[in-house]
Amino acid sequence: MKILLAAPRGFCAGVNMAIESLDLAIETFGTPVYVYHEIVHNKYVVETFKEKGAIFVDDLDEVPEKSHLLFSAHGVSPEIRRIAKERGLIAIDATCPLVTKVHLEAIRYAKEKFTIVLIGHEGHDEVIGTMGEAPDSIVLVETPEDVAALELADDSKIAYLTQTTLSVDDANRIIDCLKARFPQIQSPPKEDICYATQNRQEAVRLIADDAELCLVVGSQNSSNSQRLKEIGKEKKIPAYLIDGPKDIDLVWFEGIENIMVTAGASAPESVVVECIDFLKEHFNATVETRTIRQEDVYFPLPRELRSLAQK
């Protein structure tokens, strides 16, 4: 068997920043350090931090007053920031800057009295945070059918934003529908879907042509990882989303000679290596790295931690 190993894959700059932030907070302040929602959507990462003493919460009432609290890479709403301040929590904001960009766009459009159409997945942490910036101005759409059902005047003052981890193709289909129905619709100066999401999706599209099966390392609640699996299936090959080697079923590989392996933006490289080692052991697999683009993006630590990192 030959493994076509996609590059880039795995951690993006926002995930690296968030994980480094939580590690530094634990090292500096001791445990427990509380985290609002999962630091990133990856089971392995979350379990590793639980072992280090991080406590993940979905309700700030679970956080004792004056505790250290880290906001996850997906961002939070102004209401959560207000509650944290009221409770005297020492907040560390590890929101990905690309998510913050979408929040700021939402605030700007709302101040200018636009109706904002947010393209995203209902219930996703990032979507909840973004909608919280201007709840009276934002409507959520997930499909082209949702666009058709929008109850807005055709000449409405309207703009669109997108969740950063969407499928580029899916988002473009919805954007095309919005532009067809509302030709006057405004868009952000620069698209919202993040560079890492786009690069990992492009790699799957290109490499899948030479593969008979696609393995995506990532967790089920990771939006960008789910999109990678979907793109594999769109390329007419079996595609599986796995947390690690324990999820691999040997039956998948009967009659398969070439597989591609990639990883979502919140999946650690150490888990990718474990999966490759598993395939080497069972199938005498060789590895060929396919690099479609170089990444050198870096996001600085939150300001609350920058001086600590320099000590």
Domain 2-11+195-291: give its CATH code. 3.40.1010.20
How confident is the model at residue 263, as a pLDDT? Answer: 98
If phi > 0 it is left, if psi is from -120 to 50 it is alpha, else beta; for residue 204 that is alpha
Find tokens 């409507």 and name the residue.
139
Catalytic residue among 38, 126, 133, 230: 126
Q: Give the angle subtended at the CA of 172 by the CAs of 137 and 107, to the nearest 5°.
A: 25
Q: Report whether the peptide linkage leading into residue 32 is cis, meaning its omega lies within 30 degrees of zero.
A: yes
CA distances from 277 to 179, 184, 273, 285, 288 (A): 47, 53, 6, 9, 14
How confident is the model at residue 154, as a pLDDT? Answer: 80
Chain-centre distance of CA 199, in angstroms?
13
pLDDT digits (tens, 9 = 90+) for 269-310: 999 999 999 999 999 999 999 999 999 999 999 988 987 766
CA distances from 248 to 144, 198, 274, 283 (A): 35, 26, 11, 13
Q: Say how many C-beta atoms besides its own lie within 10 A of residue 306's C-beta.
A: 11
Chain-centre distance of CA 50, in angstroms?
20
The answer to whether 97 and 71 have CB atoms below 8 angstroms apart is no
All residue ranges of the chain with pLDDT < 50 are none
CA dihedral of residues 76, 231, 16, 55 (deg, nearest 10): 50
Q: Strand pairing partners for 130?
A: none
How confident is the model at residue 309, as a pLDDT? Answer: 64
Please tell me the distance from the alpha carbon of residue 36 to that of residue 17, in angstroms, as a whole number. 16
Closest C-alpha to 44, from 279, 297, 225: 225
Please tell me the distance from the alpha carbon of residue 33 to that of residue 137, in angstroms, as a whole number. 34
Please tell me the distance from the alpha carbon of residue 85 to that of residue 63, in angstroms, as a whole number. 12
How confident is the model at residue 304, as a pLDDT? Answer: 86
Enumerate residues 6+ apart whose C-beta is below 8 A from 43: 219, 243
Asked if the domains at 13-96+300-309 and 98-181 fall in one CATH topology, the answer is no
126 included as an active-site residue: yes
- How much of the chain is in helix, strand and coil states, percent to nearest 5? 45, 20, 35
Domain 13-96+300-309 falls under CATH 3.40.50.11270: yes
Domain spanning 98-181, CATH class: alpha beta
In 253-305, at which residue ranges do the beta strands (DSSP E only) sit? Answer: 258-263, 286-291
Q: Map out the domains of the chain as residue ranges.
A: 2-11+195-291, 13-96+300-309, 98-181
Please tell me the distance from the alpha carbon of residue 123 to that of residue 182, in angstroms, as a whole number. 26
pTM of the model: 0.92
